[in-house]
A = this chain, B = another copy of it.
Amino acid sequence: MLKRSPLRAISLRIPAAPTATLSLRPHLIPRSSLSTMASVDERIKELQDKIKALKVAKQDASKEVEEMKALKAQQSKDKKDGPAGFQLKVPKGTIDHKPAAALLRKKIFATLEGIFAKHGGEVIDTPVFELKEILAGKYGEDSKLIYDLQDQGGELCSLRYDLTVPFARYLAMNGVTSMKRYHIAKVYRRDQPVMSKGRMREFYQCDFDIAGTYDPMVPDAEILYILIEALTALDVGEFTIKLNHRKILDGIFELAGVPADKTRAISSAVDKLDKLPWADVKKEMTVEKGLDEAVADRIGQYVGLKGKGREVLATLQADEKLNTIASAKEGLADIALLFDYLEHAFGVLDKISFDMSLARGLDYYTGIIYEAIVEGSAPPAPAAADAAAPAAAGKGKKAAKSATVNEDGVDESTVGVGSIAAGGRYDNLVNMFAEAAGSKRDKVPCVGVSIGVERVYAILEQRRRAEAAKPREKETDVFILSLGKEGLLPERMKLARKLWEAGIKAEYQYKAKPKAERQWAQAADDQVRFVAILAPAELEKGVVRIKEQGIERAAGADNGEEVSLDNVVEYLKARLG
C-alpha cells in the first residue's frame, strides 16, 4: 500500500480563501513544510541506501522499493506541479511579450497610429469585456469561441472577440452618426491555439473604420488606400489585396439558383477556394451542403474569375445574364466607381485583385469585402536561425523546438504566407444593435479594415532573426562607468541625474564598488552607444571620458574623448543627434 511521507500532509498549497497569507510570511510556516522538498529528497536517499543494504544481505526490500517509487513519482509530479499544486505558466494560448518583442510591437503600433492620424482618425478604447448579450449571436458559428466571465452575482459579461462589435455598440449607444476611428487592442477567442502558426487565444487587433453616410465608394477607396499605405510602411514584403462585393456574390448565387437558406453555407464553401481546388469545393457544396449540381456548376462559371486590372470587371459588366440581377448590377457599378478612385485619384489600383472566390465568413458585410495576402518569404537558413536566437527573457531562454520555430513558439517557415489584414463594408450592424436594444436609429453605414498585427510582428521578427541581429531590449544611450577602487557611486548618480534632467537616457550600476569588467560587459550586452567613464584623476580635473561603443577601430586607436563636466550634456546631445 502506498505509504505517503508524513511530511507530505503539510502542504504549501496556497488556498483560494481570502485570509490565507501564511505562505507569504515564512517565519510563521512550520519549518517542516518549508523543507518538504528537501526532506523527500533525503528520504529517497535513505531508502536507496537501505535497499542496497537489504539486497546485499539478500533480504526482502520490496516494501522499501514501493515507498521509494511512490516518493519518486510524487517528486516528479511536484517538480512539474509544485507543492502548491500549480505551474508557473501563462494560460493556454497566451504569451508574455518579452522586452524585445514588446518593443517591436510598440514600433508597429506607432507606425500604424501615425498613418491613421494622418487620415483624421480618432482613437477610442473600450472595456475588455462587454455585456454577454451584446456579443452573443453576432459571430455565427464562432459564438462558442467566446470567453465568458463567471457569474459572480452581477451582469453576465464576456471578453470581446473583436473590435468591430464594440465599435458598433459604441456608435449605437452614443447616437453617433459619423466617425473615423482606430482602435488597437487585444481580443480574445477560445480557439484551439496553434502557437506554431501564431494562432493565439489572446492577440492584438488593429482596426480602422469610417462610419457615416457619404457619397458612394469614397471612404471605401480611402480605407483601401490606408491599408496599402500601412502594409507598405510596415515593410511586410510583397502583398496583394483580394477584393469582391457581397452584392455581386449574392447576384451570382441568385442567378445560379442557390436557395436563400443555403447562402451562408455556400459562401463559406466558396471562401475555401484559396486553399482547395474547385472539385473539392464543389463536392462540399453538393454532397455536404445539399446543393443541386447544376447550381454548383453555374457558380463555378464565375468564382474562378480573378485578376488585377479591369479585365474581370469588364467581363462581368458584359455578362448579360448577370446584369439582369439587380444586386449584381449595383455591385458592379460600385466596383467600377471604386476602381476609378483607386486608379485616378490614389494611383493604387495595381495592388488590387478582383477575385470572385473571396467570400469571407462574416454575415454582416453588405458591400465590398477584401483581404490582404502577403507573398511567402523563404524561411531563414537553419544555422542562422539557431545562431540568432536572442536571450529573449533576459537570463532564461526556452530552447527552440526546431530550426524554424522562434521563442514565441511560432514556426517561421509558415509566417510569410497568407492573410495579413481583412475587412469590408457593413451597413446594417449599428442600427440592428440599436433596434435590438429598443432605440430607433437611422442607418450608420460603416466600412473598415482590421490589420493582423501579430502576423506583421511574426514577419518582421523572422526577418530580424534571419539578419542575426540581436534586438535591443532597452533604449539607453549612455552608460556611466567608474574606474578605480573608490567606486564613485555618488558621482555616478549625480552625473546620471544631470543627464536625465537633460532628457538623455542613462544608466549606472547599483553597486558602491562595481567591477570594471562587469560594467563594460553590461554596456556591451545592452548595446549602449556611449560610455561615460568617471575616474579619480579625471574627476579632479573636472572631466569625464566619453567612448563610443560598437564601431570598428584600428588597433590602438583613440581611447575616447575628454569632456568637461560642465559641457558633457551639450556634447552628448550633439553626438546623439
Interface residues of chain A, those whose CB is within 8 Å of chain B, are 12, 14-21, 23-28, 37, 78-92, 94-99, 102-103, 105-106, 114, 117-134, 136-144, 147-152, 154-155, 157, 159, 169-170, 172-181, 186, 188, 190, 202, 210, 212, 214-215, 218-219, 221-222, 225, 229, 260-261, 264, 341, 344-347, 363-364, 393-396, 428-429, 432-440, 473-476, 489-490, 493-494, 497, 500, 503-507, 509-512, 526
Contacts and interface: CB of A to CB of B under 8 A. Distances in A.
Nearest to A263: B25
Given A91-B157, A436-B12, A474-B122, A84 B133 contact: yes
Nearest to A220: B510
A345 B488 CA distance: 11
Given A155-B92, A394-B176, A137 B23 contact: yes
Contact of A152 (B190, B346, B490, B493): B190
Contacts of A179: 394
A150 B510 CA distance: 45
A163 to B, nearest CB: 12
Nearest to A434: B88
Given A24-B364, A117-B474, A150-B148, A87 B123 contact: no
Given A346-B493, A395-B176, A396-B174, A80 B130 contact: no
Contacts of A476: 117, 120
A132 to B, nearest CB: 7
B84 A24 contact: no
Nearest to A393: B174
Nearest to A475: B117
A223 to B, nearest CB: 11
A19 B147 contact: no
A5 to B, nearest CB: 15
Given A344-B490, A434-B88, A505 B117 contact: yes
A177 to B, nearest CB: 6
A497 B215 CA distance: 19
7 contacts: A14-B136, A28-B261, A117-B474, A119-B507, A219-B510, A229-B500, A347-B497
B90 A130 contact: yes
Contacts of A28: 260-261
A118 B572 CA distance: 14
Contacts of A21: 137, 140, 264, 363
A18 B364 contact: no
Give the interface centre of A121, A210, A344 by most chain B CB atoms within 10 Å: A121
A437 B147 contact: no
